[in-house]
Amino acid sequence: MGYSITPLLTGVRNPDQGIMTYQQGYGKRIWLPIWSFLVRGEGRNILVDTGLDENELFVPQGFIDETGLVPQSLIECLVQEGLSVEDIDIVINTHLHDDHCGNNALFPRAVFYAHKDEIAFCRNPHPIDHRYDTAFIEGTSFVEVDRDLEVVPGIRVLLSPGHTVGGLSVLIETTQGPAVITGFCCNAENFPANGPAVCPGVHLDAIAAWDSIQKIKGLGARILPMHDLGLQKIPG
Ligand SMILES: [Zn+2]
């Protein structure tokens, strides 16, 4: 068994590195790509996150990802993979910030997975976290996850709270071995070669976020930090 993973570039922002790494990297402007991950195999087409709403898509002049990609709408990204919105069987939302569920409404056939507490928080967000927009999940009926769970053979969601109340990382058996898409916003700077991983810069519970990122690092799987530049495809 082995799935492929194709990162689809649905947007880019230009924040401070401190958004990614708690108490580190402040004062450094970064390109922050917004990915949706297309996971294919075993006759299934699965999306991990649905990226940024097309209406929020803004491509800064001259921006191009290290892989040569330019951000475009999720529909356009899928067309390039030979797919339409009807072809998507399953959507897993790692969490429900606007840049991770902005296109949920596009997929009429998909079965959606998200954490129970994340869904509740998104429906009734606390004003401290402005990244929630209930409109993005209106009409989405979810399979509500409350524990580590095998979604389909070879794809597991793992509880990873802290960045948000109900983050889910996604562990995938790929053609190149296990890979994990983090359930919290981070980039390569969160995973230094030596020492512990760095707590995500945005969090509702810093200690839980720190524990979650160590747990994901400790899996020994290839890590796909969900806001990293130049993420490579894992082929089928
Ligand atoms: Zn994010």
Quick: pLDDT tens for 61-105: 878 888 888 999 999 999 999 999 999 999 999 999 999 999 999
- Only one residue has tokens 């109340």, namely 165
Distance from residue 144's CA to the centre of ligand 1 (Å): 20
CB count in 10 Å sphere of residue 127: 6
User: What average pLDDT does this structure show over 9-33?
Assistant: 96
What length does the chain have?
A: 236
Distance from residue 97's CA to the centre of ligand 1 (Å): 7
Q: Which residues contact 147 (CB under 8 A, 6 or more apart)?
A: 159
Beta strands at 142-145 and 149-152: parallel, antiparallel or unpaired: unpaired
Distance from residue 120's CA to the centre of ligand 1 (Å): 18
Distance CA 191, CA 174 (A): 21
Distance CA 180, CA 163 (A): 17
Instruction: Kindly list the distances between the CA atom of residue 21 and the CA atoms of 7, 25, 38, in Å, as whole numbers in the listed order.
Output: 22, 7, 26
Lowest mean pLDDT among 4-8, 62-66, 141-145, 162-166: 62-66
User: What average pLDDT does this structure show over 137-160?
Assistant: 97
Distance from residue 224's CA to the centre of ligand 1 (Å): 13
At residue 154, the pLDDT reads 98
CB count in 10 Å sphere of residue 14: 11
CB count in 10 Å sphere of residue 124: 9
At residue 157, the pLDDT reads 98
Distance from residue 227's CA to the centre of ligand 1 (Å): 7
Distance from residue 79's CA to the centre of ligand 1 (Å): 24
Of all residues in the chain, the percent with pLDDT exceeding 70 is 100
113 and 143 Cβ atoms separated by less than 8 Å: yes
Distance from residue 43's CA to the centre of ligand 1 (Å): 28
Distance from residue 130's CA to the centre of ligand 1 (Å): 12
At residue 77, the pLDDT reads 97
Distance from residue 115's CA to the centre of ligand 1 (Å): 16
At residue 58, the pLDDT reads 81
Distance from residue 148's CA to the centre of ligand 1 (Å): 21
Distance from residue 5's CA to the centre of ligand 1 (Å): 18
For residue 23, what is the DSSP state?
T
**Predicted confidence band of residue 7 (pLDDT cuts 50, 70, 90):** very high
Distance from residue 185's CA to the centre of ligand 1 (Å): 4
pLDDT(204) > 90: yes
Lowest mean pLDDT among 3-17, 60-74, 129-143: 60-74
User: What average pLDDT does this structure show over 153-181?
Assistant: 98
pLDDT(203) > 80: yes
**Predicted confidence band of residue 1 (pLDDT cuts 50, 70, 90):** confident
Distance from residue 152's CA to the centre of ligand 1 (Å): 24
Q: Which residue has the higher pLDDT, 59 or 102?
A: 102
Domains of the chain (ranges; CATH) run 4-224 (3.60.15.10)
pLDDT(192) > 80: yes
At residue 61, the pLDDT reads 82
Stretch (H or E) spanning 171: strand 168-174
User: What average pLDDT does this structure show over 122-146?
Assistant: 95
Distance from residue 174's CA to the centre of ligand 1 (Å): 23
Distance CA 207, CA 213 (A): 10
Mean pLDDT of the chain: 96
Q: Which residue has the higher pLDDT, 67 or 191?
A: 191
Distance from residue 150's CA to the centre of ligand 1 (Å): 23
Distance from residue 56's CA to the centre of ligand 1 (Å): 14
